[in-house]
Amino acid sequence: MTKILSPRLVIVVLAAALLVYPLVLSGAFYRDIGVTFLLAAISASAWNIVGGYAGQVSVGHSMFFGLGAYTPLLFYTQWGWPPMAAIPVAIALAIGLSIVIGMPTFRLTGHYFSMATIAVAELIRIFTGTWDFVGAAIGLQGPAIARGWWDLTFRSELPYYYLFLVVLAFLLAVTSFIERRRFGFYLRAIKSSERAARSLGVPVRRTKMQALALSAAFTSVAGSLYVIKTGFIDPDSGFGILISVQMVIIAALGGAGTLFGPLVGALILIPLQSATNTWFGGGGSGLTYILYGGIIVLIARFEPGGLFDLWNRVAPGLRGALRKRRHA
Amino acid sequence: MPDGGKLLDATNVSKKFGEFRAVAGADLAVNAGDIIGLIGPNGAGKSTFFNCLAGETVPSGGRIVFDGKDLTRASPEAHARAGIGRTFQVPTTFADMSVIHNVMVGAFLRHPHRNDARDKARAVLELTGLRPDQPARSLGTPGRKRLEIARALATEPRLLLLDESLAGLTPSELQEAIALVRQIHQSGVTIVIVEHIMEVIMTLTRHVLVFNQGHVIASGTPDSVVREPAVIEAYLGRSHRRPPPDPSPANGGG
């Protein structure tokens, strides 16, 4: 990162802004954007571990998100578990699924890997829509009225906001830890050249599997958080392709394979999405696709490295200009 | 220079691609402390044979034993762990990472902790003479080839396979690179080098294998092989008949 502003200062300012945001902008609309933003940032940061750092662009991460969303509500409707108690089960299932999915799909690289992940996620979505045990096309409902605090059913957005913020902070801490360890180096090496990585003794298959499992676990947590807040899930809101695409776009917009890239991407995309939805009302739901499509084109054409990359190129010049002005 | 027992023993190695026999029963025995050259015209099978030695290509037949272990069908990762390092004909550095981070990826093989890996990488970079914090993508071809050598050295190999690491260099860069390879060899690393440039082979190696059409057609000291009629006919004839030996980089892959 460039030192136009010290990175540590940027993090402190950002953290402070996120902490006070729902207190300063306390309207329901702003708080809703805040919660949606955090959830999107968590999902995209989770995707970033395997999609960004390791460069294995999954476009089927909704399979883990949906698993994380369905499991708590299934355990609630079937056995009356508090939704949050099923989060560890969902994590375990997501890791299991990641292994089953990773074994065959990691034999593929590049676009083939991406297409395989789309196909699997779509299969799961369609299958879920026909399976009565998980509510088929209608989906599942959570506790309407909290039986106790442990059901985490609040009327205010505020508790959700801070819960999500804690999870995001934890995920970023884990990512930052990985980034500086051997595992993180191996991920970036694999992204750059699997062949060269292998020649240096990097266990490529195993490392990719570990990255996918970790990414799946956190994506599943994002799904669980989503469902604990909304109290409802159906095949489209759990396993829909837009869920996966949103993760990819947010990470790519901010900078895939960078610690704060997904956060920056969510900071831009979510308010933009909320604004277009508000301006055009319910009739504008197809607009999301147009927005995503437009962003994909712009990133691919002008900034394949995302905004972080742009910043890293522009910042030294800015710093020079600032210094010049100070001396003038 | 440490002269030891047999480090690598490749016997009757062959590789078929469909009906095409790229390598047809090649043998190579390398003793610890050797520096051996593999030469031959384009398409002679050197690179395929080389990839078999590095574990990237699984041979169709034959046996490759390194340090007493059978590595014939082992993965490239297993080769690296066993102590075989390699470079690539077309440099494949990790472009998005800095020079030292590239080298650390190699160093992590024997030093799992970051600080140890960084120390190892610094030591290797001092030997190979690259600026640690430079982004790898900003390096030119000579720099990238040097970085590949550094990265492979960081895995602490006992055998280093150099695949045309000295091709495409200017005469002065070539002299520096030859000095580097010699230094690495003197530090106790056994070397097998594929090269087009005869000057490199003549100055560096004591033993040369000449490949043609998947076979080893000659082997011996550099001076003796260049006199063999089969070799002159297959490969050396053209460049060797030119009155003063041309030290400029040869073109093309093999």
pLDDT digits (tens, 9 = 90+) for B193-230: 998 777 788 889 989 998 888 888 888 998 888 788 88
Are the beta carbons of B88 and A182 separated by less than 8 Å? no
Query: In this structure, which amino acid lies at residue A22?
Result: P
Paired tokens of A155: 């009327």
> Searching chain A, which residue's CA lies closest to the CA of residue B77?
A201
Chain A, residues 204-223, CB within 8 A of chain B, namely 204
Distance CA B174, CA B168 (A): 9
Which chain A positions have a beta carbon within 8 Å of B151's beta carbon?
196, 200
- Residues A80-131: tens digit of each pLDDT: 898 899 999 999 999 999 999 999 888 887 788 899 999 999 999 999 999 9
Place of tokens 């990826």: B105
Residue A197 forms part of a structural domain: yes
Residue A1 forms part of a structural domain: no
A233 to chain B, any CB pair closer than 8 A? The answer is: no
Q: What is the side-by-side order of every strand in the sheet holding B6-17?
A: B20-31, B6-17, B61-66, B69-70
Which chain B positions have a beta carbon within 8 Å of A185's beta carbon?
97, 101, 104-105, 108
What pLDDT is stored for residue B91 in this prediction?
Answer: 86
Task: Considering only the beta carbons, identify the residue of B86, B108, B148 that sits closest to A182.
Answer: B108
Query: Would you say A126 and A234 are in contact if contact means Cβ atoms under 8 Å apart?
Result: no
3-state helix, strand, coil in chain A (%, to 5): 80, 0, 20
Residues in chain B: 254
* Burial (CB count <10 Å: 0-12, 13-18, 19+), residue B81: middle
Give the residue with greater pLDDT, A206 vs A280. Answer: A206
Nearest to A260 by CA among A58, A11, A8: A11
* The CATH number of domain B6-89+158-241 is 3.40.50.300: yes
Which chain A positions have a beta carbon within 8 Å of B97's beta carbon?
185, 188-189, 192
- Is 50 exceeded by the pLDDT of residue B252? no
pLDDT band at B101 (very low <50, low <70, confident <90, very high): very high
Which residue of B77, B81, B90, B159 to mutate against A (max A Cβ within 10 Å)? B77
Provide the β-strand partners of residue B65. B9, B70
Least confident of A51-60, A218-227, A262-271, A304-313: A304-313
Cβ neighbours around A121 below 10 Å, total: 25
Residue A57 forms part of a structural domain: yes
Min Cα–Cα distance to chain B from A220, Å: 30
A189 to chain B, any CB pair closer than 8 A? The answer is: yes
B227 to chain A, any CB pair closer than 8 A? The answer is: no
Q: Which structural domain, as residue segments, surrounds residue A243?
A: 7-327
Helix (H, G, I), strand (E, B) or coil at A49: helix
- Is 90 exceeded by the pLDDT of residue B162? yes
> Searching chain A, which residue's CA lies closest to the CA of residue B155?
A200
Min Cα–Cα distance to chain A from B238, Å: 35
Q: What is the pTM of this model?
A: 0.89
Residue A238 forms part of a structural domain: yes
What pLDDT is stored for residue B250 in this prediction?
Answer: 46
Give how many domains chain A has, as a whole number.
1
Distance CA A89, CA A106 (A): 25
pLDDT band at A325 (very low <50, low <70, confident <90, very high): low
